Structure 1
């Protein structure tokens, strides 16, 4: 009996080794030929269409965009015969609308999605059905609280004043080249930690310390990306042996779990000593609110851990990705930068005049008092606009929409069909079919955005009346669409505007020569090599 199992284990080991060797050989062969780029997706014996994908892994999002364009927006991907990696891939907005809105109940995340996105647990990103509805209800009630909006406003303003601007100023004085992506990553991580657990880990410090929890997040996201592009048998085998990306994944999850579970224990102990009245007066953060907000259901530590991880990713990644690509695009489009800066200055000047009139009890129609505006320029470099004030920045809003259209933070989404269906494109979907839609390709679709789809053009988001022009969510898909549309969309915009306005008033950036902006291998669209730039003081 024991011998039989030993032989079975050896056979499985040989099988996995063969699969891994086949995959690694194809990886080496095709990546070694990167100099030749052709949008061709051939179906190879045994390996299916995986070799061309591996060959183009370094430019995977552009490769998918080219293939979908050649196939009319929708096509089939066939993986290796042993890997269960067959997908229907689309960038057709009508297909996306059908799945996310009209037939929402038929297209779920599914168990395979949750397996790949293991670090997310059973949180709002991975959950389906009643679990998802419960998470969404809880999240909605928290985000809509005035205390939460006030917390976010104060946290962003404080972090900008005490960390972001001083560090940029220090780097400017030292004439150092900085990695803007790293700075934004640290800034948003500190912000989200303060918002979720009420603790600032101070990642954004002049000495740029390595913070284990922040590093763990980055590594877990890279590992999830690789689970998408290698056969399940391969990454499962790596997980069993604890090698490669799977070893990093395990270590990253352990680091995060130790951190968040210690925060949960500390919060529970702290709140157990408080009366209900004291709880209402306690400093507000999402973890505290979740523990207090039981809604007739006790939240165990696993529930709180999963909620925290999902909030971390949702609250952090959109800003890091969007801000990085924003400043890269702005550096290449000085006219757009000038228009944004003019809009910010106009808003600040209006605010300063209003404050001056109120402080000096002056009639606003007395134009002689405008002589007191001689110190307004100083305020332009010292102010951080509030949430209410940045809502007036229409052109900046359009620029951020363009960034999110061209470089969506989550470039690919996936769904699984419950029942057989036919998509608007005419493609037949069987039960359990895996469907991937490329948000990146949708942002580069001429059918959706017109012939100028590759232009960075904030004006496409501004109406003739000078107001924000909204596109349907199933076309502008950066914040999802249908019942799963991001609840924090508006909050994300105002935070990004606050950060951009505070930076642009004081500094301009010069991207280092020969810098190549290439997306990294992660589920989040970040730059592989960061965004290296020189910081220059802006002349007011």
Structure 2
């Protein structure tokens, strides 16, 4: 059983973009905008992990781009209070309002405290387990079975997005929108979650004056964003009416928790309670739907390129869960999912190479100097942190950084997963803003990945080009076109 190494980037050395008079480095950025994540990675490799980008004259686009773990630790931990999301971030992500992704200081504390309180509820993971397995049984397996019997190819990314959208809505809003069915119905809010990502990304790299004019004229990417905004509002507001939503009986009540947090707070919000709840649940939908579906999409693509990984995961499922090849599948518990060490390692390796959130924008409230003393940032300077690039740095992960090697995460003895600093592995953000849903995400990913791998052989179409989409969430640009063959009791039919 030989290892298959897969290289993601063109290894040809590139020079940094030319700083032209008046237009700065913008021309080459525009020239490479179709491959922006890999282009930035190439520049950062050549520049030692940090690069100063010069924008057009009077364009207010000068920025520092970094993927250096020392700088990530400096920004996200040591100087945390000096690097809030800031007003520029809120302008770019205005669609998220007062949700946790936009929040700073006391508002962020309120969101985080409420979220952690929910996750510590004695019924939280039991409710999660029931919700996920119900959607697996009634939605995911029947839909995959349908495509398998039809013998047609389909977009696995789309199916995974629909699964995570439905299960997230069920868990947080106590409502199943039913987007996951064989006819793949159009649910405007589900589609809008994808449509909004590219315009939000472009707001990072085009002059503010440009996207502001587009927004005013309702054209281009800004028109798509406005349409997505309406779809979000039309979907969420009816399900968060203060009088109507009572949450789940004797279970985790997300609605009540955030309603109480709002009413007990002395903070000033940009809107009333209903508006605050809209922003909160939109943030939960983005996090729940896109992080899960994105990670699993890249996971199945990677194991299709590295079949030895799939074999080891299947062997672990049979051994740890005691589901033999001549036995039917059974749903496993949250506690049992923690024992799937190699699957966990393969998911970590996927997230290292394809973190769901590819980059983050920060801006210091006071002038600062990065570790090493050679990079100075003025007040409100845009700092772009490329989490995507961090996982591709030889200086961080070694000469084999572009290879898919889950074994790098396994401690000697094979019984435990190696812990890596969040500054080196920022797939769930880093420092105080580390994602509180990390444990929840791994549980869901293991449930879905193990189920699909037990029931189906996933074959990615050879003619299908798979590449990262230029968006805030790291989706596959053209989806993931696959064909399935059914496994009977673990043996391919």
TM (norm. structure 1) is: 0.84
> C-alpha separation between the residues in 1 aligned to 2:192 and 2:168?
15
Match of 1:56 among 25, 32, 36: 32
Match of 2:347 among 375, 388, 400: 400
Q: Which residue of 1 aligns with 2:394?
A: 446
Match of 1:243 among 215, 219, 222: 219
> C-alpha separation between the residues in 2 aligned to 1:128 and 1:291?
19
Whether the 8 Å CA contact 2:13–2:42 is kept in 1: the answer is no
Q: Which residue of 2 aligns with 1:425?
A: 372
Match of 2:44 among 33, 44, 68: 68
Q: Deviations over 1:245-299 (max 9, x none)?
A: 111111211121122111111x52354xxxxxxx883564422442356663497
> C-alpha separation between the residues in 2 aligned to 1:70 and 1:76?
12
> C-alpha separation between the residues in 1 aligned to 2:244 and 2:182?
34
Q: Which residue of 1 aligns with 2:273?
A: 300
> C-alpha separation between the residues in 1 aligned to 2:15 and 2:473?
23
Superposition deviation, residue 341 in structure 1: 0.6
> C-alpha separation between the residues in 1 aligned to 2:230 and 2:456?
39
- Secondary structure at the residue paired with 2:264? coil
> C-alpha separation between the residues in 2 aligned to 1:280 and 1:215?
27
Alignment of 1:460-499 (within 5 A): 460-466=408-414, 467-499=416-448
Superposition deviation, residue 93 in structure 1: 0.7
Superposition deviation, residue 82 in structure 1: 3.0
Whether the 8 Å CA contact 1:330–1:336 is kept in 2: the answer is yes
Q: Does 1:130 align with 2:77?
A: no
Q: Which residue of 2 aligns with 1:508?
A: 457
> C-alpha separation between the residues in 2 aligned to 1:514 and 1:496?
27
Alignment of 1:360-399 (within 5 A): 376-380=324-328, 382-399=329-346
Whether the 8 Å CA contact 2:127–2:251 is kept in 1: the answer is no
Whether the 8 Å CA contact 1:442–1:475 is kept in 2: the answer is yes
Point out the structure with the larger helix share: 1
Whether the 8 Å CA contact 2:156–2:482 is kept in 1: the answer is yes
Q: Which residue of 1 aligns with 2:259?
A: 291
Q: Does 1:528 align with 2:486?
A: no
Match of 2:129 among 153, 160, 165: 153
Q: Which residue of 1 aligns with 2:9?
A: none
List structure 1 segments (4+ residues) > 6 angstroms apart after TM superposition.
Answer: none
Match of 2:244 among 251, 266, 269: 269
Structure 1 stretches lacking a partner, 5+ long: 1-35, 272-278, 353-375
> C-alpha separation between the residues in 2 aligned to 1:393 and 1:270?
37
Structure 2 stretches lacking a partner, 5+ long: 1-11, 267-271
Alignment of 1:87-98 (within 5 A): 87-98=63-74
Q: Which residue of 2 aligns with 1:43?
A: 19
Match of 2:302 among 316, 324, 329: 329
**Number of aligned pairs?**
471
> How has the CA–CA distance of structure 1 residues 103 and 297 changed in structure 2, closer, same or farther, with 3 Å as cutoff?
closer
- Secondary structure at the residue paired with 1:377? coil
Q: Which residue of 1 aligns with 2:172?
A: 196
Report which of the two structures shows the higher radius of gyration computed on alpha carbons. 1
> C-alpha separation between the residues in 2 aligned to 1:280 and 1:207?
29
> How has the CA–CA distance of structure 1 residues 295 and 379 changed in structure 2, closer, same or farther, with 3 Å as cutoff?
farther
Superposition deviation, residue 179 in structure 1: 0.5
Whether the 8 Å CA contact 1:195–1:285 is kept in 2: the answer is no
> C-alpha separation between the residues in 2 aligned to 1:38 and 1:485?
33
